[in-house]
Structure 1
Amino acid sequence: MANNHGVVFLGPGKVEVQSIDYPKFVNPAGKSIEHGVILKVVSTNICGSDQHMVRGRTTAPKGLVLGHEITGEIIEKGKDVEYLNIGDLVTVPFNVACGRCRTCREQATGVCLNVNSSRAGGAYGYVDMGGWVGGQAEFVMVPYADFNLIKFPDKEKALAKIADLTMLSDILPTGFHGAVTAGVGVGSTVYVAGAGPVGLAAAASARILGAAVVMIGDMNTERLAHAKSVGFEPIDLKKSDKLEELIEAVIGVPEVDASVDAVGFEAKGHGQQHETEAPATVLNSLMAITRAAGGIGIPGLYVTEDPGSKDEAAQQGNLKMRLGLGWAKSHRFYTGQTPVLKYNRALMQAILHDRLPIAKIVNATIIPLNQAPQGYTDFDHGAAKKFVLDPHGVLKKAA
């Protein structure tokens, strides 16, 4: 049996690459299963959602193996796996989904009813998401493989674009979900809050959906400069606490057709308050700038408990939202985990046929697994990069 190493959460501000168990065909309750596969992890990414746990802003337990963005090669399979084979290169949705329950049948795989005993929805290596072992590792087990996994049709071609295709596991479908649910279409004016990887993916998605102009707001100078370099209109939120004025300076009117929250619950204020945490500020500002009957997509993460917040209400997942404004403007709000399977096949095709250079857009930066702790530190300090871990050196070789 091979050795296995993975990125382990050891407490606020600390992760470490440690020796971990080689995966077995068992679910988190210890029950043997035969519908899974074991993957040699080809690529696995550091996500902003992981950072919330590492910062101590969730109830994540020490010892959790992190990682929900996974691409891999099948090296073992259970006897109930019929349509995948050893050697297949596959993309793994971050959602763990059974494919059999009511929500999965309705394509709402982000809230599968059978993979988590405590609530709807499961994910790899994430707090309160069912206890499934994470994939920032050399090897990982993926359940319900026939349902969850998409095989890349041409392995050689896929490896040549692996830095792009690794984004299919989460951030690209998540950004796309935010844009779609906000109602982005041909000729739309769009504002995206947050110039991190998910925000950039949402902006790229808005562009491929036909938006006329895509603005992206942040307070990080490096991230704004990168957003501009890949064709988006940067909005420096340090310049004013009135987002309407910043929007009007770009498009001539203080409102947009659609907006996307790619920030989530650790948001900070605008203008002079840009250093002050304000959990509901993004949602409130998006209601202010989104036109009447417009849409707001909310792929940014909001948690049921935030023990690290200084806001007492936010510690219990409560936000001080100006919901009356959104109601008065007949806004559509769409929240929740992205149902990756709803989008990833189409997005795969867009990548393979050179329509969506997402690795360049999010500034994919490949590092070996043993450098993951430094990657977490750099990402937490606001690096304008998407860190991609290369556990076996496959990406380095492919490049």
Structure 2
Amino acid sequence: MADNRAVAYEGPGKVQVIDTPYPEFELKDGPGVNPANVGRKVPHGVILKTIATNICGSDQHMVRGRTTAPQDLVLGHEITGEVIEVGPDVEFIKVGDICSVPFNISCGRCRNCKERKTGICLNVNPDRPGSAYGYVDMGGWVGGQAQFVLVPYADWNLLKFPDPEQALEKILDLTMLSDILPTGFHGAVTSGVTVGSTVYIAGAGPVGLAAAASALLLGAAVVIVADMNDDRLAQARSFGCETINLTEGDPQDQIEQILGVPEVDCAIDAVGFEAKGHGKDAEEAPATVLNSLMEITRAGGELGIPGLYVTGDPGGIDEAAQKGSLSLSLGTGWAKSLAFTTGQCPVMKYNRQLMMAILYDRIHIAKAVNAKAIPLEDAPKGYAEFDHGAATKFVLDPNGYLGASAA
């Protein structure tokens, strides 16, 4: 049996690379695995040799201790890999295929999956609709920041790249199909971006940058990205965005300076529940972004909310925030007839189209998010740099496909 190395959460602020079992076609007991899922057979699955697996801001929430993630949870839900074993019930995916793995785990059989709502599959997480690899309260499917990973319902879940050689040439772009590019695109689509739109995006992390690139792909006239990190704002400007530094105060006046009016057609929250207030010395205020977006979006506009919100936050600023209960100015949203879309991005709704856009050079997402490949063993360093605001999307290289070498 092959060895396996993986990145695990070891407590607030700490991850390490550990030895972990090679995957089998059965869900075993372990950190974070729902007891009802233990022993679940996966004849419909495949085992991937990981080509690329990325550090995500959602992982960072766990690593900061802002969720109820257990110690030794293997992390990672942004996975691209080569199929090396197939289960007996797999019909169409073959050994040697190079595939993108949607971070949503879905069965393809339930009502929600049949309605393309793969982010809230009813059959893969006994606790609630929706599941993901290596994530707290998501059923316990083992994460993919590892050399090898099990993918269930492979014929349904995997997006096979049509040409392996072409895929490897564009792998830093294609690895973004597992999460951040479809998630950013979902934020843009659900906020109503179309040709000529003016767009405001809160957050210049990788998802915010992916949303900005997606808005431009969809034909937006002006894309304004707001953050408090100068390096991340510079990254947004590098591919044609306007930017706002929120340390300078409320965004409304700055929007008016750019557009001539203090409002936009479409707004996207790419920050989530660890939001801060506006201004130089702003403290955490988790409803800030949502309330701000309602103020600056035109009447009749739409808000896309791919930023993560949780129902359990041990580090929340008060008892309400610890339960995911925020003080929203819903009256503002109602009075302006605003539409809201929240929740996991249903990756399979978009990933094939975005794959084609990458393969035919309509979008260069790796450049937009400043992707950087690093060895798996450097994951703790990557997490630390990302937590300190690096304007970089760290792509882990567990098996040497990307040629990353230790620093």
For the criterion TM > 0.5, the same-fold answer is yes
Q: What is the DSSP-based 3-state SS (H/G/I as helix, E as strand, rest coil) of the residue aligned with 1:74?
A: strand
Q: What is the DSSP-based 3-state SS (H/G/I as helix, E as strand, rest coil) of the residue aligned with 1:388?
A: strand
2:33 maps to what in 1? none
Task: Kindly provide the CA deviation profile for residues 117-171 of structure 1, in whole angstroms up to 9, marking residues without a partner as x.
Answer: 0000010000000100000000000000000001100000000000000000000
Q: Distance in 2 between matches of 1:123 and 1:146?
A: 17
1:26 maps to what in 2? 26
The amino acid of 2:347's aligned partner reads: V
1:264 maps to what in 2? 272
1:348 maps to what in 2? 355
2:161 maps to what in 1? 152
Q: Distance in 1 between matches of 2:41 and 2:294?
A: 48
Q: Distance in 2 between matches of 1:219 and 1:52?
A: 18
2:143 maps to what in 1? 134
Matched, 1:214 2:232: no
Q: Distance in 1 between matches of 2:281 and 2:289?
A: 13
1:379-398 matches, within 5 Å, as 379-396=386-403
Aligned counterpart for 2:212 among listed residues 199, 203, 223 = 203
Aligned counterpart for 1:104 among listed residues 113, 124, 131 = 113
Q: Distance in 2 between matches of 1:31 and 1:296?
A: 38
Q: Distance in 2 between matches of 1:151 and 1:42?
A: 13
Q: Distance in 2 between matches of 1:270 and 1:254?
A: 16
1:252 maps to what in 2? 260
2:7 maps to what in 1? 7
Q: Distance in 2 between matches of 1:144 and 1:70?
A: 15
Q: CA deviation at 1:272?
A: 4.0
1:358 maps to what in 2? 365
Q: CA deviation at 1:312?
A: 2.1
CA RMSD of aligned residues (A): 1.0
Q: CA deviation at 1:391?
A: 0.5
Q: CA deviation at 1:33?
A: 2.1
Q: CA deviation at 1:55?
A: 0.3
Aligned counterpart for 1:284 among listed residues 287, 291, 314 = 291
The amino acid of 1:252's aligned partner reads: G
Q: What is the DSSP-based 3-state SS (H/G/I as helix, E as strand, rest coil) of the residue aligned with 2:208?
A: helix
The amino acid of 2:109's aligned partner reads: R
Matched, 1:17 2:53: no
The amino acid of 2:60's aligned partner reads: Q
Q: CA deviation at 1:32?
A: 2.2
Q: CA deviation at 1:63?
A: 1.0
Task: Kindly provide the CA deviation profile for residues 5-64 of structure 1, in whole angstroms up to 9, marking residues without a partner as x.
Answer: 000111101100000010000134212221000000000000000000000000001110
Matched, 1:186 2:181: no
The amino acid of 2:175's aligned partner reads: T
Q: Distance in 2 between matches of 1:137 and 1:81?
A: 22
Matched, 1:170 2:187: no
The amino acid of 1:17's aligned partner reads: V
Structure 1 stretches of at least 4 aligned residues deviating more than 2 Å after TM superposition: none
Q: What is the DSSP-based 3-state SS (H/G/I as helix, E as strand, rest coil) of the residue aligned with 2:402?
A: helix
Q: Distance in 1 between matches of 2:398 and 2:280?
A: 42
The amino acid of 1:354's aligned partner reads: D
Task: Kindly provide the CA deviation profile for residues 320-360 of structure 1, in whole angstroms up to 9, marking residues without a partner as x.
Answer: 11110011000000000000000000000000000010000
Q: Distance in 2 between matches of 1:129 and 1:140?
A: 16
Gap regions ≥5 residues in structure 1:
none
